[in-house]
């Protein structure tokens, strides 16, 4: 594994098959650590890149003002610095918002994209109010309450009751993030643009993954993505919620592996 610092971003690189590169973009409010099951499973077949979004994990916090477009700029900087030729990009939830905006701006820079548990729609007013309430909770010193609520909403009932290691893993990552970083993330999520109108213009192949019991971004939103794009396939994984890569890693990894092989075989 190689470690890079690119414009203050903590970037990890696994594997040596550079002509088959995938970049994973993590969810809110986690870090690149969430992709551990993927780096371990895929590094022997592909070049795998993970990184901490600005403000999270080991990446610089800066002034604490982040937008989705700024995160897209960071992604492009990583691609340029590491001389990556047309990677596949995979984003889950917030990472998916970044992927959708990156495609809208720089579609020709990518061979394909994986959209996991995400949606193209911007926040409506109730969603913005909820994020504001979460910020109040965090700023009042009740981070543990925020974390507990997030985990209970994000994971499926099966995972909560039987996958203690996943529950504790997510809680640990959140506990290590600064309150300021989580609040900055909430602001960037509330301010993101709607990318729905650009879906029909996407020409690169897409893999859309959803958790059957995802309550944060229900499968219906994945079906909207599938219905509005012309070169996509959809996978709905049973008995998991918002984090299929952690709750059902074997099924998630198989879908990614099959998709990657198809994309790069076609490219060749």
Residue 267 is predicted with a pLDDT of 65
Each residue's pLDDT tens digit, 52-111: 999 999 999 988 899 999 999 999 999 999 999 999 999 999 999 999 999 999 999 999
Contact 80, 60 (CB under 8 A): no
User: Which residue ranges in the chain fall short of pLDDT 50?
Assistant: none
The CATH H-level (homologous superfamily) assignment of domain 2-267 is: Alpha/Beta hydrolase fold, catalytic domain (3.40.50.1820)
Question: ω before 29 within 30° of 0 (cis)?
Answer: yes
Q: Are the C-beta atoms of residues 115 and 203 closer than 8 Å to each other?
A: no
Whole-structure pTM value: 0.97
Number of neighbours of residue 200 by Cβ within 10 angstroms: 9
Instruction: Note the pLDDT of residue 11.
Output: 98
pLDDT at 16: 80
Q: Which of 61, 81, 62, 115 is nearest to 11 (CA)?
A: 81
Dist. CA 268–CA 264, nearest whole Å: 6
Residues 20 and 264 sit within 8 Å (Cβ to Cβ): yes
Sequence-ordered list of residues with C-beta below 8 angstroms from that of 106, at least 6 positions apart, any chain: 72, 76
Q: How far apart are CA 253 and CA 250, in angstroms?
A: 5
pLDDT score of 17: 79
DSSP code of residue 148? H
Give, in degrees to the nearest 5, the angle at Cα 260 between 256 and 265: 155
């Amino acid at each position: 594994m190689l470690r890079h610092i690119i414009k203050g971003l903590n970037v990890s690189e696994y594997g040596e098959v550079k002509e088959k590169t995938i970049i994973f973009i993590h969810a809110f409010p986690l870090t690149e650590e969430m992709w551990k099951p993927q780096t371990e499973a895929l590094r022997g077949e592909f070049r795998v890149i993970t990184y901490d979004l600005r403000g999270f994990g080991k990446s610089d916090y800066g002034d604490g003002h982040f937008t989705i477009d700024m995160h897209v700029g960071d992604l492009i900087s990583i691609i340029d610095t590491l001389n990556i030729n047309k990677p596949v990009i995979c984003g889950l939830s917030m990472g998916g918002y970044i992927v959708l905006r990156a495609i809208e701006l720089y579609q020709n820079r990518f061979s394909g994209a994986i959209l996991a548990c995400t949606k193209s729609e911007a926040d409506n007013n109730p969603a913005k109010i909820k994020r504001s309430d979460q910020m109040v909770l965090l700023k009042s010193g009740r981070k543990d309450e925020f974390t507990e609520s997030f985990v209970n909403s994000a994971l499926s009932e099966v995972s909560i009751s039987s996958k203690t290691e996943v529950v504790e893993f997510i809680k640990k990552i959140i506990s290590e993030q600064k309150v300021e970083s989580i609040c900055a993330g909430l602001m960037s999520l509330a301010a993101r643009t709607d990318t729905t109108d650009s879906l029909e213009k996407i020409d690169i192949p897409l893999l859309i993954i959803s958790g059957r019991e995802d309550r944060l971004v229900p499968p219906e939103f994945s079906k909207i993505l599938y219905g509005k794009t012309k070169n996509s396939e959809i996978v709905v994984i049973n008995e998991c919620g918002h984090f299929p890569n952690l709750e059902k890693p074997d099924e998630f990894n198989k879908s990614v592996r099959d998709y990657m092989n198809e994309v790069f075989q076609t490219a060749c």
